[in-house]
């Protein structure tokens, strides 16, 4: 049974829909890599699951079930009991999550006091254990430090310790490595993977970099214009992407022996003025007349679906192949 079930989720700001029919499952011990350009709706999905949408944002349709329990429509007090306990959150910038005026040990211990009823001394001891678990050096001494006394990589480990403190069923990691250098990025992703295996946590890993999360994700969901446009097992999506936008993201990655990166032309659409048909149509080199109607997600192989009228053609291309050879001919379907 899935730990997290999201069905036909819509998030609106006034009359403007930001998320449109988002549907996915997340199983215990599984990592779902959620990718796409900035402003495509991936972080908004995470905030919706956490019940952290800021007004005037609201869930206007759909369902979110955590371990079979519907959480859409819960009161704020009920959501507070879930956040930090059953659902953990790792943000892009540790300073967003850490209080500069509180010692690290007190901040980690707060979760134990709030959700597990521990006293201050018990919570402090558990906080030191968590710091040791996430690899912060000299955990007893580090617990007495303030955030500004730690490096960026150490602060991110502290945030991960806070997120895992109560052994959540689901962890949402929103761009957890963006502010770090390449070496620290690899360390943090490896830490998340190791903790996930140890705790059996379901992880929703959000990133704009499909390459960075490919090695730690079992499944990938590609977002564009507020909806999932391709999803499937990570290896299938990476090797046999069927949506031109996914191919474009992959072809823009640096690769050994590749002399020139293929940038994605144009800009993501304005949610208040989406183009008719497929939202990627104005930027897509494969656009045809049929793209004036927005395609639904269709299977290309078992457990792999994509929203494109030319998905079968794109899917047949070798990994890393340019889309340009297909651009000059009409769809065979």
Contact 188, 212 (CB under 8 A): no
Q: What tokens does 58 get? A: 């609201």
Sequence-ordered list of residues with C-beta below 8 angstroms from that of 330, at least 6 positions apart, any chain:
288
Q: Please report the domains of the chain, with CATH numbers, ordered by start residue.
A: 4-217 (3.40.50.300), 241-327 (no CATH)
Distance CA 171, CA 309 (A): 34
**CA-based nearest residue to 35, from 163, 164, 173, 184:** 173
Q: What tokens does 143 get? A: 């617990």
Contacts 24+ apart (CB under 8 A), 39-42: 39/268, 40/223, 40/224, 40/225, 40/226, 40/268, 41/11, 41/223, 41/225, 41/226, 41/227, 42/206, 42/223
Contact 18, 226 (CB under 8 A): yes
Give the mean pLDDT per block of 10 residues along the chain (333 residues).
Answer: 95 96 96 95 96 95 97 95 94 85 96 95 97 96 96 93 95 88 88 92 94 90 98 95 95 71 84 95 95 96 96 90 75 51
Sequence-ordered list of residues with C-beta below 8 angstroms from that of 296, at least 6 positions apart, any chain:
307
Distance CA 41, CA 324 (A): 28
Distance CA 266, CA 214 (A): 25
**CA-based nearest residue to 217, from 199, 200, 201, 204:** 204
Distance CA 262, CA 244 (A): 13
- Helix, strand, or coil (residue 83): strand
Distance CA 69, CA 67 (A): 6
Contact 284, 294 (CB under 8 A): no
């Amino acid at each position: 049974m899935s730990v997290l079930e999201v069905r036909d989720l819509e998030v609106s700001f006034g009359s403007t829909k930001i998320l449109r029919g988002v549907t996915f499952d997340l199983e215990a011990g599984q990592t779902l890599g959620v990718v796409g350009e900035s402003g495509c709706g991936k972080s908004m999905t995470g905030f919706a699951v956490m019940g952290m949408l800021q007004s005037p944002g609201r869930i206007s349709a759909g369902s979110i079930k955590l371990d079979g329990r519907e959480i859409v429509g819960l009161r704020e007090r009920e959501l507070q009991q879930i956040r930090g306990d059953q659902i953990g959150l790792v943000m892009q910038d540790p300073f967003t999550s850490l209080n500069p005026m509180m010692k690290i040990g007190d901040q980690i211990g707060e979760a134990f006091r709030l959700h597990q009823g521990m006293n201050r001394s018990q919570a402090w001891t558990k906080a030191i254990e968590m710091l040791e678990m996430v690899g912060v050096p000299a955990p007893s001494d580090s617990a007495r430090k303030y955030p500004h006394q730690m490096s960026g990589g150490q602060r991110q480990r502290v945030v991960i310790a806070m997120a895992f403190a109560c052994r959540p069923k689901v962890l949402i990691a929103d761009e957890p490595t963006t502010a770090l250098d390449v070496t620290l990025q690899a360390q943090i992703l490896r830490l998340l993977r190791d903790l996930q295996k140890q705790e059996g946590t379901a992880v929703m890993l959000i990133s704009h970099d499909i390459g960075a999360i490919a090695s730690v994700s079992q499944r990938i969901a590609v977002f564009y214009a507020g909806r999932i446009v391709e999803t499937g097992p990570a290896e299938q999506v990476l090797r046999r992407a069927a949506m031109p936008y996914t191919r474009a993201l992959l072809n823009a990655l640096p690769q050994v022996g590749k002399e020139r990166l293929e940038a994605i032309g144009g800009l993501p659409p304005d949610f208040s003025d989406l183009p008719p048909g497929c939202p990627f149509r104005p930027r897509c080199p494969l656009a045809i007349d049929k793209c004036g109607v927005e395609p639904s997600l269709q299977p290309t192989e078992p457990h792999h679906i994509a929203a494109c009228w030319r998905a079968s053609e794109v899917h047949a291309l070798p990994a890393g192949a340019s889309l340009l050879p297909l651009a000059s001919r009409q769809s065979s379907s």
